[in-house]
């Protein structure tokens, strides 16, 4: 196991969180269900795919808060979070006042001590011990099942059995561990306790959009320096998102068909090669995946009957919004990835990093000043916009994307040298044309079926003379079908032209690359 993999596994702390959850009395688990945490807390551990996480992080653009791939922008969306984790999207933004010190709230609400007067962190071991899990290490010769059973029994022996102030304190301690260690996890061992002000009134905890906060925290972590390995927050979301949207990577293995949330259906396909080698291979595959192999909408046909949380939060899907996580506010640009909504991608103004508010640096351990974020970022709290697209193809977007990101994206080791994105731009336009052709073919087939049905209903041409309106309907259907056939023929011709242009451009770029590598030989030839 690599150092980073060990760090990721220990940082997430999945085992003891699940063990404590299993050790909670029934009434406490019922309260967590009502808050919307039930599906999330029943998830099973997913081994970290460190190479995949690192490769994805190296593709992240902090300006537009999206991954940059040869086929365009791509991001995990709110629907991905809901379906993969079971956490809710709807409700109030996870934000409020942040403080320079959480010492008094921790002492009052958790009955624990905070090291450091200006700290927003509580020691994980202290928090675990308060929940009965003081010895969270595997004992010699202990199986995983025995280990989990021991932790659960230890927790069950300490936790309050009846409702009251002690039970409320236990639940706040557990929620602090879940939120600070899993949902909004830090890179170090201590647990963040900025969520405490939202946990004071336990009856309102379920009103907050914890899933949106998870995504905001993850996006913010991806924007850190590429030299900083690992990702804070709930990294399994990235893994399963890639398993669904980029199946050609072959990093996940399906299991437990039909299980929900969808994270339950996957396990990591272990790779014994070195971490650096794995990361390089993932980049090579990303550079060469045919555009048609990317799954923009993998949940089409997915039954929602067993996932009531999906239907409940559907109104929040497909919107451009700001994601809030206390002092972290990041945009979710659905307009950059309209294809995830089954729409054509129009050309939009690519965002740049412009924040109208100040934010503490990433190196801080505490909050620098008392700040009421509901006032500081009030405009971002109310800024929601439904995403729509009037584009009929993705061609203009692919051209603009290649101009903007060509030198940054199209430089893989296994693809032709394409510094300005000419080849990939043509690949994208060709893929868009093929999609448009397939869609139009379906329309043409439906039109001919409708025309045939109309003719059969009126008994052929002789009956049409007796009912002029039916004759007009047949004529309109035939005319529409003929125009669609003409458009389909033009698209096929366009497809062939693009294939020819792509082959010619690929050959030309290869020749130019060879000339760049052999300048002296080129001079002699001239």
pLDDT at 274 over 50: yes
Q: In the structure, what pLDDT confidence band is assigned to residue 356 with cuts at 50, 70 and 90?
A: low
Domain shared by 516 and 439, yes or no: yes
What tokens were used for 60?
């992240």
For residue range 455-474, list pLDDT tens digits in order. Answer: 777 655 444 445 566 677 78
**Under 8 Å between Cβ of 307 and 81:** no
Which pLDDT belongs to residue 7?
A: 42
Domain shared by 2 and 88, yes or no: no
Place of tokens 């390995």: 229
**Under 8 Å between Cβ of 182 and 17:** yes
pLDDT at 503 over 90: no
Residue at which a domain ends, from 173, 207, 241: 207
Q: Give domain status of residue 407, yes or no.
A: yes
For residue range 59-75, list pLDDT tens digits in order. Answer: 999 888 999 998 899 99
Q: Give domain status of residue 152, yes or no.
A: yes
Domain shared by 87 and 154, yes or no: no
Domain shared by 372 and 500, yes or no: no
Q: Give domain status of residue 218, yes or no.
A: no
**Mean of all residue pLDDT scores within the chain:** 84
Domain shared by 488 and 398, yes or no: no
Q: Give domain status of residue 216, yes or no.
A: no
Q: CA angle, 35 as apex, 29 and 39 as ends, to 5°? A: 65
For residue range 104-116, list pLDDT tens digits in order. Answer: 999 999 999 776 6
Q: Which segments of 307-369 does DSSP mark as H helices, in order?
A: 308-313
- What percentage of residues in the chain have a pLDDT greater than 70? 86
Domain shared by 162 and 24, yes or no: yes
Residue at which a domain ends, from 172, 207, 242: 207
DSSP-derived 3-state class of residue 267: strand
Counting the structural domains of the chain, the total is 3
Domain shared by 5 and 133, yes or no: yes
- To 10 degrees, what angle do helices 422-457 and 395-409 make? 150
Domain shared by 124 and 266, yes or no: no
Domain shared by 180 and 84, yes or no: no
Residue at which a domain ends, from 148, 180, 207: 207
Q: Output 351 or 324, whichever has higher pLDDT.
A: 324
Which pLDDT belongs to residue 447?
A: 86
For residue range 390-423, list pLDDT tens digits in order. Answer: 988 888 898 888 888 877 787 655 556 666 667 7
Q: In the structure, what pLDDT confidence band is assigned to residue 443 with cuts at 50, 70 and 90?
A: confident
Domain shared by 450 and 381, yes or no: no
Give pTM, 2 decimals: 0.83
Mean pLDDT of 40-46: 92
pLDDT at 363 over 50: no
Domain shared by 272 and 362, yes or no: yes
Please give the residue range of the domain that contains residue 148.
1-35+103-207
Could you count the other beta carbons within 10 Å of the beta carbon of residue 199?
21
Domain shared by 321 and 424, yes or no: no
What tokens were used for 71?
């086929």
412-431 residues labelled b (16+ CB within 10 A) or e (exposed)? beebbebeebbbbbbbbbbb
For residue range 165-216, list pLDDT tens digits in order. Answer: 999 999 999 999 999 989 998 777 888 889 999 999 999 999 999 999 999 9
Q: In the structure, what pLDDT confidence band is assigned to residue 95 with cuts at 50, 70 and 90?
A: very high
Q: Give domain status of residue 213, yes or no.
A: no
What tokens were used for 281?
């291979």
pLDDT at 2 over 60: no
**Under 8 Å between Cβ of 8 and 120:** no
pLDDT at 4 over 60: no
């Amino acid at each position: 196991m690599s150092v980073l993999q060990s760090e990721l596994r220990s940082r997430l702390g999945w085992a003891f969180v699940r063990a404590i959850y299993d050790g909670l009395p029934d009434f406490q688990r019922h309260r967590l269900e009502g808050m919307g945490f039930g599906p999330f807390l029943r998830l099973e551990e997913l081994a970290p795919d460190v190479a995949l996480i690192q490769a994805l992080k190296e593709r992240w653009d902090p300006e537009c808060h999206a991954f940059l791939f040869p086929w365009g922008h791509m991001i995990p969306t709110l629907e991905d979070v809901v379906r993969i984790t079971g956490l809710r999207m709807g409700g109030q933004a996870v934000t409020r006042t942040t403080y320079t010190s959480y010492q008094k709230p921790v002492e009052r609400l958790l009955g624990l001590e905070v090291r450091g007067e200006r700290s927003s962190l509580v020691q994980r071991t202290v928090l675990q011990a308060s929940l009965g899990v003081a010895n969270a290490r595997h004992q010699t010769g202990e199986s995983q099942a025995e280990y989990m059973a021991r932790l659960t029994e230890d927790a069950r022996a300490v936790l309050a059995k009846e409702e009251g102030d002690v039970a409320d304190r236990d639940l706040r301690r557990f929620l602090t561990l879940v939120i600070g260690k899993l949902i909004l996890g830090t890179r170090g061992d201590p647990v963040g306790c900025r969520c405490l002000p939202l946990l004071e009134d336990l009856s309102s905890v379920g009103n907050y959009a914890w899933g949106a906060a998870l995504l905001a925290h993850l996006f913010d972590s991806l924007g850190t320096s590429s030299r900083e390995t690992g990702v804070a927050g709930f990294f399994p979301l990235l893994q399963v998102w890639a398993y669904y949207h980029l199946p050609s990577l072959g990093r996940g293995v399906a299991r437990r068909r039909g299980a929900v949330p969808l994270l339950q259906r996957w396990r990591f396909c272990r790779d014994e090669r070195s971490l650096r080698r794995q990361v390089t291979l993932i980049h090579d595959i990303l550079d060469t995946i045919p555009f048609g192999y990317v799954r923009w909408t993998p949940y089409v046909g997915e039954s929602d009957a067993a996932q009531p949380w999906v239907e409940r939060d559907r109104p929040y899907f497909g919107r451009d919004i700001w994601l809030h996580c206390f002092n972290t506010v990041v945009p979710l640009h659905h307009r950059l990835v309209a294809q995830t909504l089954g729409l054509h991608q129009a050309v939009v103004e690519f965002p740049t990093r412009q924040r109208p508010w100040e934010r503490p640096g990433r190196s801080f351990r505490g909050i620098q000043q008392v700040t009421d974020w509901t006032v500081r970022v009030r405009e971002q709290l109310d800024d929601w916009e439904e995403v729509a697209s009037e584009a009929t193809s993705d061609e203009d977007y692919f051209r603009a994307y290649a101009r903007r990101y060509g030198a940054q994206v199209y430089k893989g080791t296994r693809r032709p040298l394409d510094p300005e994105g000419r080849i990939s731009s043509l690949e994208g336009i060709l893929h868009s044309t093929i999609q448009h052709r397939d869609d139009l073919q379906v329309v043409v087939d439906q039109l001919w079926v409708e025309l045939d049905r109309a003719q059969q209903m009126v008994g052929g041409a002789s009956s049409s003379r007796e009912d002029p309106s039916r004759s007009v309907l047949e004529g309109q259907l035939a005319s529409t079908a003929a125009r669609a056939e003409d458009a389909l023929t033009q698209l096929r011709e366009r497809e062939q032209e693009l294939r020819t242009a792509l082959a010619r451009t690929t050959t030309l770029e290869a020749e130019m690359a060879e000339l760049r590598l052999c300048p002296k030989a080129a001079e002699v030839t001239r």
